[in-house]
Amino acid sequence: MRRTSSLLLALALALGASACATGGGPRSAAAAPRPAPVSPRQAVVSVIVNGQDPDFGSPWVKGEAWQRRINGLVVEGKRILVHARRLANRTLVLVEKSGESKRYEAEVELVDYEVPLGLLTVKDPEFWEGLEPLRIADEVPVEGDVTICRWLDSGQFEEARAVVKQLRVSTHFPGTTQLLTLELSSPINASGWGEVVVSEGEVVGITTSSAEDTLPTLAAPVLRQFLEQAEAGTYRGFAGHGFAWQRLTNSALRQRLGLGPDEGGVRIREVLGYGTAAGVLKVGDVLLEINGHKIDERGKFKHPEYGRLYFDVLFTDGVNPGDVVDVKVLRDGARQDLQVTLQANRPDDGVVPRYVIDQSPEYHEVGGLVFMPLTFDYMRQWQGWWENGPLYLLVAIDARNANPTRPGERMVVMSKVLPDAVNLGYADLGALLVSKVNGRPILGLDDLRAALKAPQDGFHIIEFDPGQSASRLVLDAKAAEAAAAGIHQRYGLPDPQ
Amino acid sequence: MLTLALTLLAVSAPGLEDSVVKVQVYSSRFDYASPWRMSPVHGASGTGFLLDGKRIVTNAHVVRDARQILVKRHHVANPFVARVEVVANDCDLAILRVEDPAFHEGLIPLKIGDGLPERKSSVTTYGYPAGGQELSSTTGIVSRVEWLTYVQTGSDAHIAVQTDAAINPGNSGGPVIQKGKVVGVAFQGAPHLQNVGYFIPAPLVRHFLKNLEDGHYDGFPDSGFKTTDLISPAYKAERGLKPDEHGVVVEEVAPDGTGDGVLKPGDVLLAVDGVDIADDGSVALAGVVRGPFSHLVDMKQVGEKVRFKVWRDGKRQDLEATARRIARYDRFRYQWSTPPRYLVYSGLVFMPLDVEYLRTWGKGWPGKVPRAMTWNHFFKESAAPERANEETVVLARILQHPITAELSVGPSVLETVDGHPVRSLAELDDLLTQARLRGKGQLNLGFADGYEETLNLEETEAAHPRILQTYGVRREKNL
* Pair A377, A464 in one domain: yes
B454 and A255: CB-CB below 8 Å? Answer: yes
Label residue A381 by pLDDT band (50, 70, 90): very high
DSSP letter, residue A442: -
Report the candidate in A411, A439, A424 with the shortest Cα–Cα distance to residue A475: A424
CATH number of the domain that residue A436 is part of: 3.20.190.20
Burial pattern A141-178, b for ≥16 Cβ within 10 A else e, equals beeeebbbbbbeeeeebeeeebebbebbbbbbebbbbb
B235 and A470: CB-CB below 8 Å? Answer: no
Long-range contacts of B461-466 (CB under 8 A, 24+ apart): B461/B346, B461/B436, B463/B346, B463/B347, B463/B401, B463/B402, B463/B403, B464/B345, B464/B346, B464/B347, B466/B401
Interacting residues of A9 by C-beta distance below 8 A, sequence separation 6+: none
What is the C-alpha to C-alpha distance for residues B324 and B260, in angstroms, rounded to an integer? 9
What is the C-alpha to C-alpha distance for residues A286 and A268, in angstroms, rounded to an integer? 6
Q: Which of B238, B382, B456 sits opposite A474 (nearest CB)?
A: B238
Q: By CA distance, what is B409's nearest residue in A?
A: A246
Could you tell me if B256 and B264 are in contact, meaning their C-beta atoms sit under 8 angstroms apart? no
B375 and A426: CB-CB below 8 Å? Answer: no
* Pair A338, A415 in one domain: no
Q: What is the pLDDT of residues A391-435, one digit of tens each?
A: 999 999 999 999 999 999 999 999 999 999 999 999 999 999 999
Report the candidate in B97, B102, B117 with the shortest Cα–Cα distance to residue B54: B97
Residue A22: pLDDT above 70? no
Could you tell me if B281 and B227 are in contact, meaning their C-beta atoms sit under 8 angstroms apart? yes
Hey, of B387, B454, B458, which one would you mutate to test binding to chain A, going by the most A CBs within 10 A of its CB? Answer: B454
Q: What is the pLDDT of residues A449-487, one digit of tens each?
A: 999 999 999 999 999 999 999 999 999 999 999 999 999
> Is the domain B1-216 a CATH 2.40.10.120 member?
yes
* Domain assignment present for A275: yes
Chain B residues within 8 Å of chain A (Cβ atoms): 226, 228-235, 237-238, 249, 251-252, 265, 364, 366-368, 371, 374-375, 378-379, 381-383, 403, 406-409, 442, 444, 449-456, 459
From the CA of A247, how many Å to the nearest CA of chain B?
A: 6
What is the C-alpha to C-alpha distance for residues B216 and B204, in angstroms, rounded to an integer? 17
* Pair A81, A115 in one domain: yes
B450 and A269: CB-CB below 8 Å? Answer: yes
- Inform me whether the C-beta atom of residue A253 falls under 8 Å from chain B C-beta atoms: yes
Domain boundaries B341-478, CATH class: alpha beta
From the CA of B286, how many Å to the nearest CA of chain A?
A: 26
Which amino acid is present at B294? S
Q: Quick one: pLDDT at residue A32?
A: 52
Q: Which of A248, A392, A425 sits opposite B229 (nearest CB)?
A: A425
* Pair A227, A304 in one domain: no
Residue A337: pLDDT above 90? yes
From the CA of B367, how many Å to the nearest CA of chain A?
A: 4
From the CA of A253, how many Å to the nearest CA of chain B?
A: 5
Can you give the pLDDT of all 479 residues of chain B as single tens digits?
333 333 334 444 447 889 999 999 999 999 999 999 999 999 999 999 999 999 999 999 999 999 999 999 988 889 999 999 999 999 999 999 999 999 999 899 999 999 999 999 999 999 999 877 889 999 999 999 999 999 999 999 999 999 999 888 899 999 999 999 999 999 998 877 888 999 999 999 999 999 999 989 999 999 999 999 999 999 999 999 999 999 999 999 999 999 999 999 999 999 999 999 999 999 998 777 889 999 999 999 999 999 999 999 999 999 999 999 999 999 999 999 999 999 999 999 999 999 999 999 999 999 999 999 999 999 999 999 999 999 999 999 999 999 999 999 999 999 999 999 999 999 999 999 999 999 999 999 999 999 999 999 999 999 999 999 999 999 999 99
* Pair A154, A216 in one domain: yes
Note down the domain range covering A423.
364-491
Q: What is the pLDDT of residues A69-126, one digit of tens each?
A: 999 999 999 999 999 999 999 999 999 998 898 999 999 999 999 999 999 999 999 9
Question: DSSP assignment of B191-227, as one string?
Answer: TT-SS-EEEEEHHHHHHHHHHGGGS------B--EEE
* Pair A214, A243 in one domain: no
CATH number of the domain that residue A266 is part of: 2.30.42.10
Q: By CA distance, what is B228's nearest residue in A?
A: A470
Q: Looking at chain B, how many residues does it have?
A: 479
Q: Cis bond leading into A174, ω under 30°?
A: yes
Interacting residues of A197 by C-beta distance below 8 A, sequence separation 6+: A146, A147, A148, A149, A162, A182, A184, A203, A204, A205, A206, A207, A217
- The CB density around residue A449, as the number of other CB atoms within 10 Å, is 14
B232 and A423: CB-CB below 8 Å? Answer: yes
Question: DSSP assignment of B341-384, as one string?
Answer: PEEEETTEEEEE--HHHHHTT-TTHHHHS-HHHHIIIIIHHHH-
Report chain A residues whose CB lies below 8 A from the CB of B449. Answer: 244, 269-270
Domain boundaries, chain B: 1-216, 225-322, 341-478
Q: Quick one: pLDDT at residue A98?
A: 87
Could you tell me if A216 and A115 are in contact, meaning their C-beta atoms sit under 8 angstroms apart? no
Q: Note the maximum CA span of chain B.
A: 83
Hey, of A474, A475, A478, A481, which one would you mutate to test binding to chain B, going by the most B CBs within 10 A of its CB? Answer: A474
* Domain assignment present for A152: yes
Report chain B residues whose CB lies below 8 A from the CB of A395. Answer: 371, 374-375, 378-379
pTM here is 0.92
* Pair A227, A243 in one domain: no
Report the candidate in A184, A239, A205 with the shortest Cα–Cα distance to residue A136: A205
Distances (CA, A) of A378 to A56, A60, A419, A442: 5, 13, 21, 18
* Pair A316, A381 in one domain: no
Q: Catalytic amino acids of B?
A: 61, 92, 172
A461 and B238: CB-CB below 8 Å? Answer: yes
Q: Quick one: pLDDT at residue B166?
A: 86
Q: Which of A246, A391, A465 sits opposite B367 (nearest CB)?
A: A391
Give the helix/strand (H/E) hosting B299. none
- Inform me whether the C-beta atom of residue A248 falls under 8 Å from chain B C-beta atoms: yes
What is the C-alpha to C-alpha distance for residues A88 and A90, in angstroms, rounded to an integer? 6
Could you tell me if A259 and A330 are in contact, meaning their C-beta atoms sit under 8 angstroms apart? yes
* Pair A386, A483 in one domain: yes
Q: Quick one: pLDDT at residue B417?
A: 98
What is the C-alpha to C-alpha distance for residues B240 and B247, in angstroms, rounded to an integer? 12
Q: Which of A250, A392, A426 sits opposite B453 (nearest CB)?
A: A250
Percent of the residues in chain A that have a pLDDT greater than 70, as a whole number: 92
A471 and B229: CB-CB below 8 Å? Answer: no
B406 and A250: CB-CB below 8 Å? Answer: yes
Distances (CA, A) of A266 to A302, A326, A378: 15, 16, 35
Which amino acid is present at A169? V
- Inform me whether the C-beta atom of residue A283 falls under 8 Å from chain B C-beta atoms: yes
Q: Quick one: pLDDT at residue B168?
A: 87
What is the C-alpha to C-alpha distance for residues B421 and B356, in angstroms, rounded to an integer? 23
Interacting residues of B353 by C-beta distance below 8 A, sequence separation 6+: B331, B373, B376, B377, B391, B392, B393, B394, B413
* Domain assignment present for A102: yes
Q: Quick one: pLDDT at residue A29?
A: 44
B367 and A388: CB-CB below 8 Å? Answer: yes
Q: What value, to the nearest 5°, has the Cα angle with vertex B468 and ends B465 and B470?
A: 105
* Pair A413, A459 in one domain: yes
A269 and B452: CB-CB below 8 Å? Answer: yes
* Domain assignment present for A6: no
What is the C-alpha to C-alpha distance for residues B71 and A487, in angstroms, rounded to an integer? 64
- As for the ipTM of the complex, it is 0.93
Which amino acid is present at B3? T
Domain boundary among A232, A267, A283: A232
* Domain assignment present for A458: yes
What is the C-alpha to C-alpha distance for residues A60 and A399, in angstroms, rounded to an integer? 29
The whole-angstrom distance between residue B56's C-alpha and the CA centroid of its chain comes to 20
What is the C-alpha to C-alpha distance for residues B411 and A74, in angstroms, rounded to an integer? 49
- The CB density around residue B224, as the number of other CB atoms within 10 Å, is 23
- Is the dihedral angle over the CA atoms A382, A384, A390, A396 positive or is it negative? positive
Domain boundaries B225-322, CATH class: mainly beta
* Pair A373, A337 in one domain: no
- Inform me whether the C-beta atom of residue A360 falls under 8 Å from chain B C-beta atoms: no
Question: DSSP assignment of A104-169, as one string?
Answer: EEEEEEEEETTTTEEEEEE--HHHHTT--PPPBPSS--SSSEEEEEEE-TTS-EEEEEEEEEEEEE
* Domain assignment present for A27: no
What is the C-alpha to C-alpha distance for residues A202 and A30, in angstroms, rounded to an integer? 13
The burial class, CB within 10 Å (0-12 / 13-18 / 19+), for B437 is: exposed
End-to-end CA separation in angstroms for chain A: 62
CATH number of the domain that residue A187 is part of: 2.40.10.10
A246 and B451: CB-CB below 8 Å? Answer: yes
Domain boundary among A168, A203, A232: A232
From the CA of B26, how many Å to the nearest CA of chain A?
A: 37
Report the candidate in B276, B159, B292 with the shortest Cα–Cα distance to residue B227: B292
* Domain assignment present for A11: no
A422 and B234: CB-CB below 8 Å? Answer: yes
What is the C-alpha to C-alpha distance for residues B435 and B456, in angstroms, rounded to an integer? 11
Q: What is the pLDDT of residues A288-300, one digit of tens each?
A: 999 999 999 999 9
Q: Where are the beta strands (DSSP E) in A3-103?
A: 44-54, 62-75, 79-83, 90-96
Number of compact structural domains in chain A: 4
* Pair A333, A390 in one domain: no
From the CA of B91, how many Å to the nearest CA of chain A?
A: 25
Give the helix/strand (H/E) hosting A485. helix A477-491
What is the C-alpha to C-alpha distance for residues B388 and B254, in angstroms, rounded to an integer? 9
CATH number of the domain that residue A95 is part of: 2.40.10.120
Hey, of A256, A270, A473, which one would you mutate to test binding to chain B, going by the most B CBs within 10 A of its CB? Answer: A256
B333 backbone dihedrals φ, ψ, rounded to 5°: -95, 140
Percent of the residues in chain A that have a pLDDT greater than 90, as a whole number: 87
* Domain assignment present for A62: yes
Could you tell me if B381 and B254 are in contact, meaning their C-beta atoms sit under 8 angstroms apart? yes
Q: Quick one: pLDDT at residue B13?
A: 45
What is the C-alpha to C-alpha distance for residues B14 and A108, in angstroms, rounded to an integer? 89
Q: Quick one: pLDDT at residue A497?
A: 53
> Which of residues 263 through 282 in chain A touch B, CB cutoff 8 A?
267, 269-270
From the CA of A425, how many Å to the nearest CA of chain B?
A: 5
Q: Quick one: pLDDT at residue B193?
A: 80
